Every structure is written in C-alpha cells, then in structure tokens.
Amino acid sequence: MNTAYAETEPSRAEVDALAGPTVVEFGTPWCGYCRAAQPLIAGAFASHPQVQHLKIEDGSGLPLGRSFGVRLWPTLVFMRNGREITRLVRPTSLDQIRQALQRIDPSAK
C-alpha cells in the first residue's frame, strides 16, 4: 500500500490509457479526511493486490483533478482499462471501498 501522494501527476491521456483495474486517489498528505481514510483504503486493497493504485496530490488548478471533476478529498476513481466505473468521495467504511474494488476487479476473492 502506497501511503505517499505523488506530487507530479500523469496526464489525463496517460491515465485513460492504463490497462486493467486502477484506482486513482486524489488528496493531500495534510488533509484530515485523507488521513482518516488511509486505514480503510489499505484494508480494502489487501485483497486486491493486482489493482494499480495511483495516489495523486491534488490542489486548486491542477489539471488531472479538474479533468475528473474532483471537489473534495479524498476522491477515489475506480477505473478499468482507462474507463471510470465508479467513484467514492470521502469514504467512511471499509465495505464501501471493497464493493467499489469488486466492480473493477471481480476475479478477486
């Protein structure tokens, strides 16, 4: 589980070209909601090790977050083959995240 947010974001085209199941997490290291969600996110990802997880530090005017319409942190965008399947904003339960992961990674047990 990656706990650090990348300060350099990929382009939207690069994200849209990702193959397989991917979660793009937008947030910041100082965001209280982001920090509170980390144990839930880590717990949910434990049974989905093959899902790619990109943690992107977001902020006002940053193009990737704006292209996804991110307004609150953390926002988790669940994608399969570059296409958004679902998203969670400020998740508060492990089950929410597990259910969303199951939608992009149905082969996981």
In a domain, 94, yes or no: yes
In a domain, 35, yes or no: yes
Residue 52: CB atoms within 10 A of its CB come to 12
SS3 state of residue 69 = coil
In a domain, 4, yes or no: no
Mean pLDDT of 37-59: 95
- Identify the residue whose tokens are 């589980």: 1
Q: What is the pLDDT of residues 12-25, one digit of tens each?
A: 999 999 999 999 99
What CATH number is given to the structural domain containing 83? 3.40.30.10
Mean pLDDT of 28-51: 94
- The C-alpha angle with vertex 61 and arms to 60 and 67, in degrees rounded to 5, equals 110
Question: pLDDT confidence of 78, banded at 50, 70, 90?
Answer: very high
In a domain, 93, yes or no: yes
DSSP 8-46: SPPPHHHHHT--SEEEEEEE-TT-HHHHHHHHHHHHHHT
Given strand 52-57, what is the order of strands in its sheet? 52-57, 21-27, 75-80, 83-89
What is the domain count for the chain?
1
pTM: 0.94
pLDDT for position 61:
87
Task: Examine the pLDDT at 63 and tell me if it is beyond 70.
Answer: yes
pLDDT for position 7:
82
In a domain, 109, yes or no: no
Q: Give me the sign of the Cα torsion angle 51, 56, 60, 66.
A: negative
In a domain, 2, yes or no: no
In a domain, 3, yes or no: no
pLDDT for position 108:
65
Give the domain range for residue 22. 12-104
